[in-house]
A and B are shown apart, each in its own frame.
Chain A
Amino acid sequence: MWRYVLRRLIESAVTLVLVTIVVFIGVRALPGDPARALAAEESDPETIAAIRAEYGLDQPIPVQYVRYVGKAVQGDLGTSARTRLSVTETIGHALPVTLQLATFAIVVAVLIGVGAGVVAAVRRRTASEWVANSVALLGLSIPNFWFGLMAVLIFAVAYPILPASGFVSVFDNPVESFRHLLMPAIVLGSGLAAVIMRQTRSAMLEALSADYVRTARAKGLGGTQVVLGHALRNSLIVVTTIVGLQLGLLISGAVVTEQIFVLPGFGKLTIDAVFTRDYPMIQGVVLVTATAYIGINLLVDLLYSVIDPRIRVGGRVT
């Protein structure tokens, strides 16, 4: 077991190093000189040269890389070239925003998706199913940015019941946080809700025709109990898998949603950093993302090995 853990740890470390190299080179391969981008309107050659020297951009890339990694392992991701604020701190501000948004969006998506999926399966060939299916189709087809703009126009401009933008942390003021995140979460969760609805519906249809459901009914259980207690419970395994698979989609969708609702989250941070060629910020953002992905993968692999001992010996599963 420990050998397996050690091997996976080393593999993860190697992956992380490779990621940092790719990012480092990739960022520098972007067209556009970062010193020129940072110089903005003050683009005289001395200013640009001074910026280059200040951020070590005049050094060979390997030198820049070693310097960067040396600091990064000490938790210092440098300072933003644009604002001179600490990259670590800036990411620290942005990450909770996206996490809260994503969590809320998942809750919304599961509530809507599972609810509609169950209704569509139970009330087959009725108006309810048709409505649920249509909503799912819309949820999948409508782009986030359009849905978001429409939501703002209706619920913030025409009928001002919700704020058009901004973020309040759930830990500071739960009520205001709910009001600020409701629209973004629905917009972000809509696509996921549609996927969940369709999967729930088909899983429910399968479950409802399964033997154990017939048995449950034969035993005289009430409709609700059969649907929620037996059929849905078994269908949720599929839903859980889907939510896991769609997480990536949710995070990339958050980029657009954060722009529309002006949420100072991770996605907005990334986009703005790329557009302003803020190298330290781009590197920091990607490093944190890569570390998170690698960390989660590692954790999942290790959990698998706990659940299924055969995985530990890797490749030699019979």
Chain B
Amino acid sequence: MPYPSPLLRRAVLLVAVTLAASACSSIDSPGGGESAAPDNRPLRAGGELRVALANEPDLLDPTLARTLVGRTVFNAICEKLYDLDAKLNIVPQLASAAPEISADGKTVTVKIRQGLKFADGTTMDAAAVKTSLDRHRTLKGSARTSELSSVDRVDVVDQSTVAIQLKAPFAPLAAVLADRAGMILSPAAVTAQGDKFATNPVCIGPFKFSSRIAQDRIEVVKDPNYYNAGNVKLDKVTYRIIADSSTRFNNLRSGDVEVLDTVAATDVDALQADANLRLVTSQSLGYQGITLNLGNVNGVGNAPGQLAAPYASALSSDARVRRAFSMSLDRDAINRVVFRGQFAPACGPISPDSPLSSEAAQACPKHDPAGAKALLGQAGVATPVRATMIIGTDAQARRLGEAIQAQAREGGFELALQPTEFSASLDQTDQGKYQMFQIGWSGRVDPDGNIANFLKTKGAQNAAGYSNPEMDRLIDEARATTDQAKRRELYGQIVKLEQEDAPLIYLYRQKNLLGLSSKVGGVQMYGDGILRFGEAGFFA
């Protein structure tokens, strides 16, 4: 396929290279993941790092994998065309340069690094990249299909170049290729293992897969074939799955693990008080909030309609009532009371650390219970407005639910809480059998990943059954343009419109909280919450 013609404008898709200055201010771990006082002592070679994960990763196949926690394991064994740096800029990883975009925005040319070897010793080239991208797009059961739905086809231009032809311009593509959809698999291993690739994944990474015992552990060992093997200190990383947060914390304190993924907010004080431990934090790219059922009558992803009893209420039919609900919430107090001030209040889907964030994107309705009641008066609804909210079953979910309940009461709402086991709650809300649902999203580096699926008409995760043609238009426009300033402005408008219609009421942004033994250094965690051990090791 042709190179982009010299006449074509060469647009660099790197999100916010020019905006880096605005992006780095509030990351708690500047310079890549160490806590307040970076430890610059030298690291020794060798050793096994034991990592406690809160959940078990699902399939270790980048095409089929669906869980967030799996991305941490992939980070050790499967590198991507692009990666994030500490400031959330998109930087080349297996690609050799930023993607080049044709003037019509429909051809994205990716140059690939030469001479890199997969863990099985075979060489990575453009054909391998095409094989992987095609597999991500077309394999039965692929979880990458929708991320790559903008791709029409992938062409091998030469040994070190692929051209990705798009159906329509799609600015978030580089961000998508900086996640699982950009992981390149060994074609030899794909051929040999077929749909069993997950049992022995082979890609390029500082470590290679060694073994897995379901429900217990995943082991990866240093890969001598890795292009940067000389800088990899650890011999082995063992991921242990420890679901209970206090058990996880006790294992860190006792020295049975050196790294603890996701410290409970309630354990932060105890962790900081322990001289043998360190806390590393970064601002999450995701959010937690409340999804309201506006018109989900045919199931998520289908055309919305008119809600009927028992799910219809003033909340579903009148945006003013939803705004009143949002105004009755004191997000600061929620953060202080429920999460001991560890997290940050949020009123929109875009992380303040995102290079595409703006003042408009971070605007927040004021906490104003009196104003909320006045708004309910304007809407002409009888108070209290009654509603039921589905929440999780753990102690933290209950505390959060009760805080919302108490605050909403002051604004003229009578909220009933319905604790529901997680899988059951997803099923129920996908089908539209709910009024309000407390749920969050882990977050993606490009705001599109936090917005489109949730707010576009018939979006794959639009459980609200929300539909506004103006919102659809704004989202499509923000996707199509590669002009960062324009995108930033559009996302500001999107957030403003979202707050007017309020199908989702955002509450707070979690922090990624990582516990580390003070014997360990070089662990990096950025806003994406993924743990990076490529340069980690034990202090000499």
Contacts and interface: CB of A to CB of B under 8 A. Distances in A.
B143 A42 contact: yes
A90 B422 CA distance: 24
Contact of A47 (B145, B241, B244, B441): B145
A7 interface: no
B56 A272 contact: yes
A137 to B, nearest CB: 26
Interface in A50-79: 50-51, 53-54
A85 interface: yes
B426 interface: yes
A277 B326 CA distance: 34
A40 B67 contact: yes
B427 A33 contact: yes
Nearest to B423: A32
Contact of A84 (B59, B146, B246, B421): B59
B442 A262 contact: no
Contacts of B66: 38-42, 47
Contacts of A93: 213-214, 216
A20 to B, nearest CB: 22
A163 B301 CA distance: 49
Interface in B441-492: 441-442, 453, 460-461
A77 to B, nearest CB: 13
A200 B427 CA distance: 52
Given A156-B254, A165-B242, A47 B143 contact: yes
Given A83-B58, A83-B198, A156-B256, A165 B247 contact: yes
Nearest to B144: A42
A164 B256 contact: yes
Contacts of B58: 38, 40, 82-83
B141 A259 contact: no
Contacts of A37: 423, 426-427
A45 to B, nearest CB: 4
A164 B460 contact: no
A262 B254 contact: no
A162 B355 CA distance: 48
A238 interface: no
Contact of A43 (B56, B247, B300): B300
A50 B240 contact: no
A43 B254 contact: no
Contacts of B56: 82-83, 272, 276
Contact of A54 (B140, B198, B253): B140
Contact of A264 (B60, B142, B216, B246): B216
A149 interface: yes
Contacts of A31: 421, 423-424, 427-428
B423 A94 contact: no
B255 interface: yes
A39 B140 contact: no
A43 B460 contact: yes
A42 B146 contact: yes
Interface string A229-273: 000000000000000000000000000000111101000110010
A223 interface: no
A46 B145 contact: yes
A46 B146 contact: yes
A139 B289 CA distance: 44
Contacts of B213: 90, 93, 264
Contacts of B423: 31-34, 36-37, 275-277
A152 B300 contact: no
Interface in B225-245: 240-244
A85 B199 contact: yes
A51 B141 contact: yes
A157 interface: yes
B342 to A, nearest CB: 22
A309 interface: no
Nearest to A277: B423
Nearest to B244: A259
A39 B143 CA distance: 8
B399 interface: no
Contact of A157 (B196, B250, B300, B428): B250
B266 interface: no
A36 B426 CA distance: 7
B250 A50 contact: no
A153 interface: yes
Contacts of A262: 216, 240-242, 247, 251
Contact of B59 (A47, A83, A264, A269): A83
B398 interface: no
B388 interface: no
A291 interface: no
Contacts of B253: 156-157, 164
A174 interface: no
Contact of B254 (A51, A164, A260): A164
A316 B198 CA distance: 58
Given A31-B424, A275-B423, A85 B461 contact: no
Contacts of A84: 59, 61, 64, 195-196, 198-199
A242 B59 CA distance: 44
B496 interface: no
A276 B453 CA distance: 23
Interface string A126-162: 0000000000000000000000010011001100100
Nearest to A52: B141
Nearest to A153: B250
Contacts of A82: 56, 58-59
A250 B197 CA distance: 38
B254 A163 contact: yes
Contacts of B251: 164-165, 262
Contacts of A90: 213-215
B430 interface: yes
Given A54-B141, A83-B212, A259 B243 contact: yes
A268 B244 CA distance: 12
B68 interface: yes
Most buried by A among B59, B60, B215, B244: B215
A209 B41 CA distance: 73
A44 interface: yes
A47 B63 CA distance: 11
A100 interface: no
Most buried by A among B301, B423, B430: B423
Contacts of B195: 84
B453 A32 contact: no
Interface string B159-170: 000000000000
Interface in B416-434: 421-424, 426-428, 430
A82 B301 CA distance: 24
Interface in B400-428: 421-424, 426-428
Nearest to B444: A41
Contacts of A41: 66-68, 441-442
A12 B213 CA distance: 33
A305 interface: no
Given A32-B421, A272-B56, 9 more contacts: A47-B141, A53-B140, A82-B58, A83-B60, A93-B214, A94-B215, A152-B247, A160-B254, A272-B243
Top 8 closest pairs, chain A to chain B, by CB: A44-B460, A264-B216, A32-B423, A156-B254, A31-B424, A42-B143, A40-B66, A164-B254
24 contacts: A32-B423, A37-B426, A40-B67, A41-B68, A42-B143, A43-B300, A43-B426, A46-B145, A47-B143, A54-B141, A82-B56, A83-B56, A83-B59, A84-B61, A84-B199, A149-B247, A163-B256, A164-B254, A165-B256, A264-B213, A269-B214, A272-B56, A275-B421, A277-B423
